[in-house]
């Protein structure tokens, strides 16, 4: 006797399997929508990241140039002394936001951009070259904070896209095909059992 002949599925098992297939296909559809949405979001953020990276490199070059000019005119000691006079350091607050179910960072910063009077050094004792260098580095710090937020968001989205792709593939190429295979087997087995029952009843009737 074949092993399959000893298996006797029930109608309730068939109904349960059909429900499971429907649920799996619905989940598969939702996951594909999430994956596609995340990929679109990722490309949009990637464009922002390229722009911010380009601006960051430009601002860094400008800040370095302004600093070198200030050191040449004022002297390295005077520039370093001015830097140490800073009273109020930038404040960073890390919050979070939700992008299509993915929690990504939102970085809020204060006290980065300052007026001349807020920087802590004397206006009379320094030249505009130091002010320009300070302006340039404050802009650079703001850009670094923005770049950190965007690039961390990209990494989180990439990780979730990869996880979602694996789940989609597992459903599409493994679980759902296996469920349909089981459904076909149970359907066929139930039909065989019905035929066997009809044949058995006929035999009983003939004996009567």
Residue 168 pLDDT greater than 90, yes or no: yes
CATH number at residue 26: 1.10.287.3240
The segment with the largest mean pLDDT, out of 25-34, 136-145, 186-195, is 25-34
Q: What is the pLDDT of residue 183?
A: 95
Beta bridge partners of 155: none
Residues 158, 42: contact at Cβ < 8 Å? yes
pTM over 0.95: no
What DSSP state is assigned to residue 172? I
Tokens at 12, concatenated: 């309730």
Decide which of 174 and 99 is more confident: 174
* Residues spanned by the domain of 87: 3-207
Beta bridge partners of 105: 96
Q: What is the pLDDT of residue 81?
A: 79
Q: What is the pLDDT of residue 3?
A: 45
3 state DSSP class of 130: helix
Residues 143, 55: contact at Cβ < 8 Å? yes
CA atoms of 155 and 161, how far apart (whole Å): 10
DSSP letter string over 141-181?
HHHHHHHHHHHHHHHHHHHHHHHHHHHHHHIIIIIHHHHHH
Decide which of 204 and 19 is more confident: 19
Residue 111 pLDDT greater than 80, yes or no: no
DSSP letter string over 173-201?
IIIHHHHHHHHHHHHHHHHHHHHHHHHHH
Task: Please write the tens of the pLDDT for every residue from 10-66.
Answer: 889 999 999 999 999 999 999 999 999 999 999 999 999 999 999 999 999 999 999
Element (H, E) at 102: strand 102-110
Q: What is the pLDDT of residue 119?
A: 67
Residue 2 pLDDT greater than 60, yes or no: no
Q: For residue 56, give the nearest of 151, 128, 155 by alpha carbon.
A: 151
Residue 121 pLDDT greater than 80, yes or no: no
Query: Which positions ≥6 away from 8 have C-beta within 8 Å?
Result: 189, 193
Tell which phi-psi region holds residue 179, choosing left (phi > 0), alpha (psi between -120 and 50) or beta. Answer: alpha
Decide which of 113 and 122 is more confident: 113
Phi, psi angles (nearest 5°) of residue 70 = -60, -40
CA atoms of 16 and 194, how far apart (whole Å): 19
- Average pLDDT over the chain reads 86
At residue 105 the predicted structure's pLDDT band, cuts being 50, 70 and 90, is confident
At residue 208 the predicted structure's pLDDT band, cuts being 50, 70 and 90, is low
CA atoms of 193 and 186, how far apart (whole Å): 10
Q: What is the pLDDT of residue 61?
A: 96
Look at the chain and report how many structural domains it folds into: 1
The segment with the largest mean pLDDT, out of 11-20, 70-79, 126-135, is 11-20
Tokens at 91, concatenated: 């404040």
């Amino acid at each position: 006797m074949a092993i399959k002949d000893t298996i006797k599925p029930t109608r309730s098992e068939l109904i349960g399997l059909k429900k499971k297939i429907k649920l799996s296909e619905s989940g598969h559809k939702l996951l594909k929508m999430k994956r596609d949405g995340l990929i679109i979001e990722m490309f949009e953020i990637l464009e922002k990241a390229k722009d911010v990276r380009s601006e960051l490199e430009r601002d860094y070059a400008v800040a370095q140039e302004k600093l070198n000019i200030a050191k040449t005119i004022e002297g390295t000691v005077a520039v370093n002394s001015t830097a140490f006079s800073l009273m109020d350091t930038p404040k960073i607050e890390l919050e979070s936001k939700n992008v299509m179910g993915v929690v990504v960072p939102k970085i809020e910063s204060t006290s980065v951009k300052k007026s001349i009077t807020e920087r802590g050094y004397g206006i009379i004792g320094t030249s505009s070259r130091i002010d320009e260098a300070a302006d340039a580095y404050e802009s650079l710090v703001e850009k670094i904070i923005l770049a950190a937020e965007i690039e961390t968001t990209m990494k989180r989205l990439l990780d979730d896209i990869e996880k979602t792709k694996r789940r989609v593939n597992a459903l599409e190429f493994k679980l759902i095909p296996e469920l349909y295979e089981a459904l076909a087997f149970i359907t066929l087995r139930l039909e065989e059992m019905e035929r066997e029952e009809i044949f058995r009843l006929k035999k009983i009737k003939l004996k009567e």
